[in-house]
Amino acid sequence: SRIIYFDTIDSTNNYSKRIAKDTPHGTIIISEEQSGGRGRLGRNWISPKGEGIWMSILLKPEIPPTEGMKMTQIAAAAACQAIRDVTALEAYIKWPNDIVVHGKKVCGILTEMAGELNQIDYLIVGIGINANNLSFPKEFKDVATSLAIEKGEKVDRKTLILDLLSKFEALYCHYIMEGKLDETLSIIRNYSAVLGKSVRIIKGNQECYAIVEEINDEGCLKVRYEDGEEELLISGEVSIR
Ligand code: BTN
């Protein structure tokens, strides 16, 4: 598939959106640097030149928008497995879209969609991996790290990108062509940072504690609150600490 490569761009997700209509399914957009990298919940994503992997995958699957968030799970599974295989670091998935190493974030995923009620026009899976960053701004030091910092040596970004993309493609095709999410689910369950744990859930301006009981076959998180109440969480609507 086609790869579009930049030295610098505002955001690979923004660029993908701008070209989506006239660009084929499966196009990869990568930049060495983002001047306006975006994270979830309107946050910034620091994307210094040459230090990380800042990329977006443009997809045009024939699925309804309700299935779109499964792409986040597929990307998280591919990223976590690729980081493990390429760096030998013990990476875990903090459901639904963060990858952590030694409890700190090394990778975030931002999935964005456009389309109608029954059919997606396009879907953009933005993946940011702190690969070779050697330092972080003070306010991020406690929560973010890079693969190089945790491993003590630089990571070959090209190897990691290729590994991640080939895993993503395999899991994606398995889901789109055969309707099967089983391999993705077994990765996100095996390497879950939250399964069986007590987590703090932030919903709008409410905050509560719950135990994570299960990641179900749809990729949703089943939690039990302190009062015994159970709830199924859909990716995107909550933030877990
Ligand atoms: C998050 O954890 O909040 C998601 C971070 C996603 C960052 C990636 S980097 C490539 C793509 N372009 C962006 O502007 N954001 C995503």
pLDDT computed for residue 236 by the predictor:
61
The parts of the chain modelled with pLDDT lower than 70 are 236-239
**Positions of CATH 2.30.30.100 in the chain:** 198-240
CATH 1.10.3710.10 fits 198-240, yes or no: no
What distance lies between CA 201 and its chain's CA centroid? 19
**Is the CB–ligand 1 distance for residue 55 below 6 Å?**
yes
**Is the CB–ligand 1 distance for residue 94 below 6 Å?**
no
Specify the CATH number of the domain 3-190. Answer: 3.30.930.10
pLDDT computed for residue 194 by the predictor:
94
Which of 118, 99, 116 minimizes the C-alpha distance to 107?
99
**Which atom of ligand 1 lies closest to the CA of 37?**
14
Which of 30, 74, 29 minimizes the C-alpha distance to 181?
74
**Positions of CATH 3.30.930.10 in the chain:** 3-190
pLDDT computed for residue 204 by the predictor:
77
pLDDT computed for residue 184 by the predictor:
98
pLDDT computed for residue 140 by the predictor:
92
**Which atom of ligand 1 lies closest to the CA of 52?**
9
**Is the CB–ligand 1 distance for residue 15 below 6 Å?**
no
Kindly report the number of other CB atoms within 10 A of residue 150's CB atom.
18
pLDDT computed for residue 239 by the predictor:
66
CA of 82 to the centre of ligand 1 (A): 18
174 vs 185: CA distance, rounded Å? 12
Beta strands in the chain (DSSP E): 3-6, 27-31, 53-59, 91-94, 98-101, 104-115, 120-129, 198-203, 206-215, 221-225, 230-233, 239-240
